[in-house]
């Protein structure tokens, strides 16, 4: 039996399996394998970088680095983050020029973020903090380019070319990680490390984005840009909710505690991102769906199946995490307990599937509501719990806010 015959038999089996699973397994197997590989590369690379930082930097210096990166991440709202979804949907529907217009708008709005970073740089200059002064100045200069650099990924997602996304991410990881290690061997100055990490990522990603933009067709849909701007406000709230803990913690508990917290949430966050990203191959196809009652039942079924899977994953992590943390981060023994608590939020990760369904329906008002509910409760709990319970309070705030948001989102989905 030759390879072609075996391949055809596998293809036939996958096509038949759709009758039992309700999923286009052939499409998903082809594309999710690339997404899985990409996410493995990103997760492993993120962990390797954290191990390197934890080994070479003091807790205070690592906390300062994480704070700087969180400020930049928080300001990504000025780069219209909702345009990512608009580009994926536009390109998947053959409106490829949406990507070019989206990038033009992103650069324009990003200038506001640059001004904020320059203002922060001036503030830290007056306080005598040279690390933050130099870091914020540099990041202010390159922020618009940073916001558009990775748009090759969203264009390729729309084209369902997940293999190329994996290859580019692998190249970025294989380039930036050795450069970071080499820099840390030479110096532990945080602002130099920030420049090396950001610049190396920026150059490679910009190269692929500008090359891909030259290949796009001229078809355009203005509604996609309008939708991208609308959900950017939602994304802004989501980004705020995601990063605000890493802004509050150093103010109340110091930079060393931010380092401990960052190590604690590292693997649970990677696992959560991994599960969420596994849904990406479905987005181009789902964007063409109509939300019938049958499709709602299908999504609910998959949601509960994923919830069971994530519960099992959380249980497994509770068992193995002490060994993993002691192996990778021997200088951070206090992070083991916090990491186990952080893993509880993994159980709520499948709510992303419900959120995807809101995007399919372009239900902007519902997306606003659910995002605001999560952000409001998380910020409230962070402010209340951190002064009283320290890092444990930050983790409690995350878990309780996600439980409330998951329940509310599921209620709206079933009721709608």
Q: Is residue 3 part of a domain?
A: no
The answer to whether 349 touches 376, Cβ cutoff 8 Å, is: no
Mean pLDDT of the chain: 87
In a domain, 373, yes or no: yes
| pLDDT at residue 215 in the model | 93
**273: DSSP letter:** H
**pLDDT of 405 above 70:** yes
Q: Which domain holds residue 238?
A: 22-415
- Residue 415 tokens read as 């009721």
Is residue 2 assigned to a domain?
A: no
Q: For residue 414, which of 366, 377, 381 has the smallest C-alpha distance?
A: 366
Residues 156, 215 contacting (CB under 8 angstroms): no
Joined tokens for residue 18? 């759709």
Domain count, the chain: 1
Euclidean distance between CA atoms 294 and 352, whole angstroms: 19
Dihedral angle over CA of 6, 28, 213, 197, nearest 10: -100
In a domain, 14, yes or no: no
CB environment 323-341: b (16+ within 10 A), e (fewer): eebeebbeebebbbbbbbb
Residue 348 falls inside a structural domain: yes
**CB-based contact 78:112 (threshold 8 Å):** yes
Residue 49 lies in a domain: yes
pLDDT in tens, 295-308: 778 788 888 888 89
Does residue 114 belong to any structural domain of this protein? yes
State in Å, rounded, how far the first CA of the chain is from the last one: 52
Burial class (CB in 10 A: 0-12, 13-18, 19+), 21: exposed
The answer to whether residue 25 scores a pLDDT higher than 80 is no
Domain membership flag for residue 174: yes
Digit-coded pLDDT (tens) for 203-234:
999 999 999 999 999 999 888 999 898 888 87
């Amino acid at each position: 039996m030759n390879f072609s015959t075996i391949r055809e038999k596998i293809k036939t089996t996958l096509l038949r399996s759709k009758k039992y699973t309700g999923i286009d397994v052939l499409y998903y197997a082809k594309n999710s394998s690339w997404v899985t590989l990409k996410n493995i590369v990103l997760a492993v690379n993120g962990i390797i970088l954290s191990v390197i930082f934890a080994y070479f930097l003091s807790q205070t210096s690592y906390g300062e680095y994480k704070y700087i990166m969180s400020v930049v991440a928080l300001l990504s709202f000025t780069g219209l983050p909702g345009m990512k979804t608009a580009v994926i949907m536009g390109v998947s529907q053959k409106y490829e020029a949406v990507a070019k217009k989206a990038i033009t708008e992103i650069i324009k709005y990003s200038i506001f973020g640059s001004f904020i970073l320059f203002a922060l740089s001036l503030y830290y200059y007056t306080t005598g903090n040279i690390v933050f002064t130099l870091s914020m100045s540099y990041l202010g200069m390159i922020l618009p380019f940073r916001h558009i650099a990775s748009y090759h990924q969203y264009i390729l997602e729309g084209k369902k070319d997940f293999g190329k996304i994996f290859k580019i991410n692998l190249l970025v990881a294989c380039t930036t990680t050795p450069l970071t290690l080499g820099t840390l061997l030479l110096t532990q100055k945080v602002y130099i490390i920030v420049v090396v990490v950001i610049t190396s990522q920026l150059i490679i990603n910009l190269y692929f984005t500008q090359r891909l933009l030259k290949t796009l067709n001229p078809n355009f849909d203005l509604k996609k840009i309008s939708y991208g701007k609308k959900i950017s406000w939602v994304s802004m709230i989501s980004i705020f909710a995601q990063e605000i803990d890493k802004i509050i913690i150093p103010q109340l508990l110091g930079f060393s505690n931010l380092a401990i917290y960052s190590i604690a949430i590292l693997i649970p966050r990677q696992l959560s991102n991994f599960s969420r990203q596994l849904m990406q191959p479905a987005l181009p196809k789902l964007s063409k769906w109509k939300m019938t009652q049958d499709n709602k039942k299908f999504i609910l079924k998959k949601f509960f199946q994923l919830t069971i899977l994530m519960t099992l994953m959380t249980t497994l992590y509770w068992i193995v995490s002490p060994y993993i943390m002691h192996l990778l981060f021997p200088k951070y023994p206090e992070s083991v307990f916090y990491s186990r608590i952080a893993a509880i939020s993994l159980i709520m990760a499948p709510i992303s599937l419900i959120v995807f369904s809101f995007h399919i329906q372009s239900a902007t008002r519902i997306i606003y509501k659910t995002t605001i509910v999560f952000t409001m409760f998380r910020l409230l709990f962070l402010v209340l719990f951190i002064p009283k319970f320290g890092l444990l309070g930050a983790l409690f705030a995350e878990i309780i806010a996600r439980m409330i948001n998951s329940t509310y989102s599921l209620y709206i989905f079933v009721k709608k």
